[in-house]
Structure formats: C-alpha cells, structure tokens
Amino acid sequence: MPSAISRTAISIKPGVPHRRRWFAPLVSCLFGLVPPVLASPSSLGFIYIDANVGGSSGGHAALGIGPEVYHFENDQGYTRLVREAWDRFRFVYNDLENRNLHRVEVPLAPADLERVADRLGLLLLVQNRHVEQLAALERDTEWLAALREGRRFEMRGVGFFAPGLGARAALAGLRAALERRYGPDFVLRERERLVRALMDVAYRPSPPLLDAPAPDRYPLYPPSAARRWEDDCSRWLAWRVVLESWGLRAGALIDAAPGQPLSGAERAWLVAYRERLAEAIVADIGGGTPERGFPLLLALARYLAVAESLARDQLLLLDVLPPPGRAEMSTPVEGQAGPLGALLGRLRDGWPGLRRAVFALEEPDEQAYNQLEHQASQIAAIQRGLAERQPVRYARRVEPPSGWGGVDAPRPRWESGVLARAERAARARAGRFREQLEALYPYDLVRRNCVTELVRAVDSAFASEPQARAALGGYLAPGEDWGFVPFRWFDLVRQRFRAGPVAVLPSYRNRKLGQFAALGAGWPVFAAESTTLTSSFYRIKPGDGLFLLFTEDVFWARPLYGAVNLAYGLGGAALGLVAGPFDRGGLLREGLRGALFSLPELAFANIRKGSFEGVRDQAGPDGGNP
C-alpha cells in the first residue's frame, strides 16, 4: 500500500541552535521508519524537493495524485514527463539522494481532480508514444549497422533459450496444440516462410506524418523496419524452440526458497497458468498481430519455467534483472554489506506472504506472477553480490524479464552498398525525428524546466484561466514572478492556491540524526556525525564531491564550514593532479566538484547534502530496492 501523508508539518528551520528542537518530532522515525505521508484522495499534492549535488541541483518539483507522482526530467535534451509510484519516488529522492521533501495539499472538486489526472495521463501517453517511435527509428539504425558489420543483433527474448537442453517432454503438449490449431503442413510451411521473410526483407523507411507531432494528440506510427524483422525473427526462433526442443539457458531460473515444495494449490495455479500461456503462444506464433514478437518469446520462456517448476516440485522463476551491461541501477557491496544484508533479510521475510497472496488468487494473474519474479530476482542478486563481492543490480520498477541476447538468424541478402545507404537513411530519419521531439518538448533552464512544464501541464487541464482559478483557488502562469525556481514556485503555490499546511519529510540523514536525538545522544555523537570522515553511516562516494563538513543543519557557521570545505576540495584537486595518471582524473574531478558546491555555503546557502547507496526502502510494498 502507498504510504500515507499526514497533514502535520514537521518544520526544519535554519539557525535553531539546539538540534533537539527540530529532531523531537522525529521520534516516529526510530529505526529508519519513514514518517507517514498520505495524500487526500480529493486533493493535488504540490511537492518541492530540496537541492543537492547531482541532477536537479537547484531543487525539483512534482505533483502527487493519489498514490502516484508526476514530474518532469531533462532527458537527453528534451523535457520528459515521468509517472512513478509515490513510495518509489520518495525512496529515490528522500533516501538515496538524501533530500527533504516538502508537500502541500490543494483540495479540488472530484471533477477537477479527474480533469487534471486525465490531462497528465494523456500528455504522458502521447509523449511515451513519441519516445517509443524515436527508439524504434534508432533501432533501425542499430539493426542495419549490425547487418553491415556482420555481427549478431541484440534482441529481447533471445537470451532466454539455448539449444540441446532436452525440453522435449515439456514442449510435447505445446507441439500437439500447435498441430491441432494449424495442422502439420502449416508448421513446416510457416517455418520456411519465416526464413524467406528474414532473408528477403527490405528497408522501407516509415512514411513521415502529415502533421507535426503534437503533445496532446495520440499518433499512429506504423511498425519500423527493425521491429517488423524482429517480429519475424522472434516467431522463427519460437518455432525452433518448440520443434527442436530447446530449453532455458543455464542460470535463467531462480529458486527463491530452496527445498520448499509446491503445495497442491500452487500446483493447480501453475497448471492453469501454463494452459493460459500455451493459448497465448499458439495464438501469437502463427503471426498476424504486429509487435507481438517479444511477448511470444516471454510467454514461451515462462511456459518452460512453469513446466520445470511442476516437474521439479519447486517454484522456479525467470530472472527479471538485465545483464550487468544493461542494468539500470546497481549498488556496490563495499561499505554496504550491512544494509544489503538487512534488506536481504527483509525480502526473505516478505517472500512467504507474497507467495501466499499470489497463489491465493482465484485465477492466474500475469502482474502478480511478475511480482514473484521481481522479488525472487532481487533476493538472488543480493545473495550473489554479497557472496562474490560484486555490485548488486536492481530495478526501480517491476518489469517483466527481458532476456537480451544476440540472435543467429538468416541474414538479409543485401549488397554492402545497399546496407550502407539504408543505414545512412535510417540515421538521418532518426535524427530528424529527434529534432522534432526536442522542438516539441524543449528544455531550457529558465523558460522550460521541471517547474514551468508542471505548471503548464496543470494549467492546460482547464479550458480557461477563470476555470483554473475556480478549481485551485488561484492562478499561476509558467515562470511567473520567478516561479521557474523550485523553492519560489512552492512559495507561490502556498500563497495563491487553497493550500493546506506543509508536510516535510526529513531526508535520510536527518532521520538518522533524529534517531540519535530521540535516544538521548550527546554532543560527541553529533560532532562525529558532522564530518564525512567520522560519520557512522555516511560513506564518501563518487558524485558527491570532496567535502569535509555537513552544512545543512548549521546556519550562522555555514560560511566558516564552507571555507573549510572549499579548502578541502581544492586540496583534493591538487592531489588529483598528481594522481591523474593512476585514477583517470577521478580525484581531480571530485575535488573540483567539492570546491564548486562549497561556494554557495560561503553565502549562507546549502546545496550539497551527501547521498547514499544501499539504503533500505521502507515504503515499497514488495520489499523495496537496495
């Protein structure tokens, strides 16, 4: 369940000399628990995120609607709308990035709230479709380059399987179902047809749209050349797996609870799920529906995983985490063994309950099954990382297994000159479309940033300014009155809208210090925690820059602390000049970064707060991420 947001404000005021005045409300945070923060179901939550080193170093803005958060990010030159679950959003910004979150609720009539939610949903849907089209056009370029260079093309789903692993018994029923549906002659003809299609494919660029892309009009893009080829290749590979009795590659399956046999109810659930997967495979393998290649291979891999589970009387699941080269996020084991071990214990403790909940469902549910895959994969990744002292991969979202791998498929019969011309045309087409997206979703530090686009999106949900005023209690235009600055925007929201009290979620470090205060720790503890070298829980990490003293919780002494940090960063940079040949300039960069973010501290301003890796996610319903 999403966390709840209490309307009680937890205020942190600069210049308060005695820490315990503002740590006292944090007794509820003992042992790392996050203060409950729940949005009203009939309000918009306007969220300001404190500044810190890294992305959004000037602060960030977001909008909460129920259990979800919308915010804009700078994504490779254009402004990208993102929707995340509240608990994941809080975990990243509040814990990993160690930022205080400030939130106010603005009550809305149900119809107005629905209007804003629908508008944001439409903008997200349309933008995602544009971004998918850009990825498809760039995929054309990758595919043509792989053909020209004579190397294997990387595809999702291919890495699930390996030949000669003796899955004949598991696939016998599936082969029989295919013959009943299509007939034995069709099976042979279809396999031959796919080989010819793969060899005779031609690159035909997708025709340009008659109208330029629009932010609120859903476009209908035809499948790209590479996607059409991938669909045929996926069906060709699926036929090979079925007819030649391929199995899952070694290491593809995870056993999250070794030695625990399947119960009768679990076996019945898995048998029903296997039949549902078989129906999907039989329907998709015959073709006809575009862009069903990867879902076909995923269904086939899950079919084999379920069959193996039933044969071995153990719950075996596919690994959802991509290989290290494609991993979205990872955390090093060095210095994080304790938090990772604690998280592993929590995931293991939560596994039986999740397993019971999934198999208690009356009918097989793919999303619920994916939750099992996700948690089992995370357990296995942490176990492996701790045992091998290797970085632990993890995912911010629950997604299906990807199965990336290089495919050895029949190659198109093209001359090298034709391939080179096609690749140039595909690259130019992708470049033009990227320029269109950058023009449609421009990023500018002042005029089109995370704040202005959020305001623009909310305003566009209403037909007119008077309608927006009636709904929100006031009106705010994008960038008006310095409103492009995140903290200024938050002040304007409080001044102009019907805003309730501010709820502040202290950052991870502030919550840890709050624990010490609640337990009666004295000044020696806080003195030790005030430096990066003696802190009991902060570990110096790349990206934070070199600094010695934390300055967030001091005010009048901040310029003095900043001067110390400036000297510390410049000293590190000087040493980095000597160490450059050995660390590729790492120490030099960190020293200069540390010195740069010390400059605001000389003027009583604080940006840098440090960040954390391997923090336990206290809010996730599935046990969280490292």
Q: Average pLDDT for residues 58-62, to the nearest whole number?
A: 93
Q: What pLDDT is stored for residue 332 in this prediction? A: 73
Q: Average pLDDT for residues 550-579, to the nearest whole number?
A: 93
* Pairwise pLDDT comparison (252 vs 166), residue with the higher score: 252
Residues 328, 396: contact at Cβ < 8 Å? yes
Closest CA to 45 of 79, 89, 99, 1: 89
Interaxial angle between packed helices 225-243 and 110-149, expressed in degrees from 0 to 180 and rounded to the nearest 10: 80
* Pairwise pLDDT comparison (614 vs 194), residue with the higher score: 194
Q: Average pLDDT for residues 251-272, to the nearest whole number?
A: 92
Cα–chain-centroid distance for residue 159? 22
Q: Phi first, then psi: what are they for 69, rounded to 5°? A: -130, 135
Cα–Cα separations (whole angstroms), residue 539 to 32, 90, 534, 546, 618: 17, 21, 9, 11, 20
DSSP state of 149: H
Please state, in angstroms and rounded to a whole number, the distance separating the CA atoms of residues 230 and 225.
Answer: 9
DSSP state of 623: -
Residue-wise pLDDT tens digits, 570-600: 999 999 999 888 888 889 999 999 999 999 9
Please state, in angstroms and rounded to a whole number, the distance separating the CA atoms of residues 462 and 452.
Answer: 16
Residues 327, 404: contact at Cβ < 8 Å? no
Q: What pLDDT is stored for residue 18 in this prediction? A: 34
Q: Phi first, then psi: what are they for 106, rounded to 5°? A: -115, 110
Residues 170, 308: contact at Cβ < 8 Å? yes
Please state, in angstroms and rounded to a whole number, the distance separating the CA atoms of residues 366 and 387.
Answer: 31
* Pairwise pLDDT comparison (329 vs 466), residue with the higher score: 466
Q: Average pLDDT for residues 17-22, to the nearest whole number?
A: 31
- Reply yes or no on whether the pLDDT at 607 is more than 60: yes
Q: Lowest mean pLDDT of 88-97, 205-214, 481-490, name the range.
A: 205-214
Give burial (CB, 10 Å; 0-12/13-18/19+) of 67: middle
| H or E element at residue 72 | strand 68-75
Here the tokens at position 184 are: 């034995």
Q: What pLDDT is stored for residue 40 in this prediction? A: 59
| H or E element at residue 83 | strand 78-85
- Reply yes or no on whether the pLDDT at 476 is more than 60: yes
Q: What pLDDT is stored for residue 160 in this prediction? A: 94
* Long-range CB contacts (within 8 A, 24+) of 514-519: 514/23, 514/26, 514/27, 514/29, 515/26, 515/29, 515/30, 515/31, 515/32, 517/19, 517/20, 517/23, 517/24, 517/26, 518/23, 518/24, 518/26, 518/27, 518/29, 518/30
Cα–Cα separations (whole angstroms), residue 623 to 31, 324, 368: 16, 22, 14
Residues 119, 460: contact at Cβ < 8 Å? yes
Taking the chain, what is the end-to-end CA distance rounded to the nearest angstrom? 19
DSSP assignment of 493-530, as one string?
Answer: HHHHS---PPEEE--HHHHHHHHHHHTT--HHHHHHHT
Q: What are 75's strand-pairing partners? A: 78
Please state, in angstroms and rounded to a whole number, the distance separating the CA atoms of residues 341 and 375.
Answer: 15
Q: Average pLDDT for residues 91-102, to the nearest whole number?
A: 91
Residue-wise pLDDT tens digits, 437-455: 999 999 998 999 999 999 9
- Reply yes or no on whether the pLDDT at 28 is more than 50: no
- Reply yes or no on whether the pLDDT at 486 is more than 60: yes
Q: Phi first, then psi: what are they for 535, rounded to 5°? A: -60, 140
Give burial (CB, 10 Å; 0-12/13-18/19+) of 134: middle
DSSP assignment of 193-218, as one string?
Answer: HHHHHHHH----PPPPPSS---TTS-
- Which ranges in 314-464 belong to alpha helices (H)? 337-359, 366-388, 416-440, 450-459
Cα–chain-centroid distance for residue 196? 39
Closest CA to 321 of 415, 239, 392, 244: 392
Q: Lowest mean pLDDT of 43-52, 108-117, 335-344, name the range.
A: 335-344
Does the CA dihedral 225-231-232-233 come out positive or negative? Answer: positive
Residue-wise pLDDT tens digits, 119-156: 999 999 999 999 999 999 999 999 999 988 888 899 99
With cut-offs at 50, 70 and 90, classify the pLDDT of residue 185. confident
With cut-offs at 50, 70 and 90, classify the pLDDT of residue 32. very low
**Mapping DSSP to helix (H, G, I), strand (E, B) and coil, where does residue 549 land?**
strand
Q: What b/e string do you get for 272-306 counting C-beta neighbours within 10 Å, with b at 16 or more?
A: ebbebbbebbbebbebeeeebbbbbbbbbbbbbbb
Across the chain, mean pLDDT equals: 85
Amino acid sitting at position 75? D
Please state, in angstroms and rounded to a whole number, the distance separating the CA atoms of residues 251 and 241.
Answer: 18
- Reply yes or no on whether the pLDDT at 619 is more than 70: no
Spell out the residues 6+ positions from residue 303 whose beta carbon is closer than 8 angstroms to its own. 170, 174, 274, 277, 278, 281
Q: What pLDDT is stored for residue 257 in this prediction? A: 84
Q: What are 329's strand-pairing partners? A: 394
**Mapping DSSP to helix (H, G, I), strand (E, B) and coil, where does residue 60 land?**
strand
Q: Lowest mean pLDDT of 171-180, 227-236, 354-363, 370-379, name the range.
A: 171-180
With cut-offs at 50, 70 and 90, classify the pLDDT of residue 57. confident
Spell out the residues 6+ positions from residue 17 whose beta carbon is closer than 8 angstroms to its own. none
Q: Average pLDDT for residues 251-264, to the nearest whole number?
A: 90
Q: What pLDDT is stored for residue 525 in this prediction? A: 92
Does the CA dihedral 12-13-15-20 come out positive or negative? Answer: negative
Amino acid sitting at position 322? P
Q: What are the percentages of helix, strand and coil residues in the chain, rounded to 5?
A: 50, 10, 35
Please state, in angstroms and rounded to a whole number, the distance separating the CA atoms of residues 381 and 307.
Answer: 24
Does the CA dihedral 176-181-182-185 come out positive or negative? Answer: positive
Q: Lowest mean pLDDT of 41-50, 115-124, 262-271, 413-422, name the range.
A: 413-422
Please state, in angstroms and rounded to a whole number, the distance separating the CA atoms of residues 58 and 243.
Answer: 58
The pLDDT > 90 percentage for the chain reads 55
Furthest CA-CA distance within the chain: 85
Q: Average pLDDT for residues 183-211, to the nearest whole number?
A: 79
- Which ranges in 250-318 belong to alpha helices (H)? 264-285, 293-312
Q: What pLDDT is stored for residue 22 in this prediction? A: 29
Q: What are 504's strand-pairing partners? A: 102
Please state, in angstroms and rounded to a whole number, the distance separating the CA atoms of residues 437 and 142.
Answer: 20
Please state, in angstroms and rounded to a whole number, the distance separating the CA atoms of residues 477 and 458.
Answer: 10
Cα–chain-centroid distance for residue 187? 40
Amino acid sitting at position 130? H
Q: Average pLDDT for residues 286-308, to the nearest whole number?
A: 89
Q: What pLDDT is stored for residue 541 in this prediction? A: 82
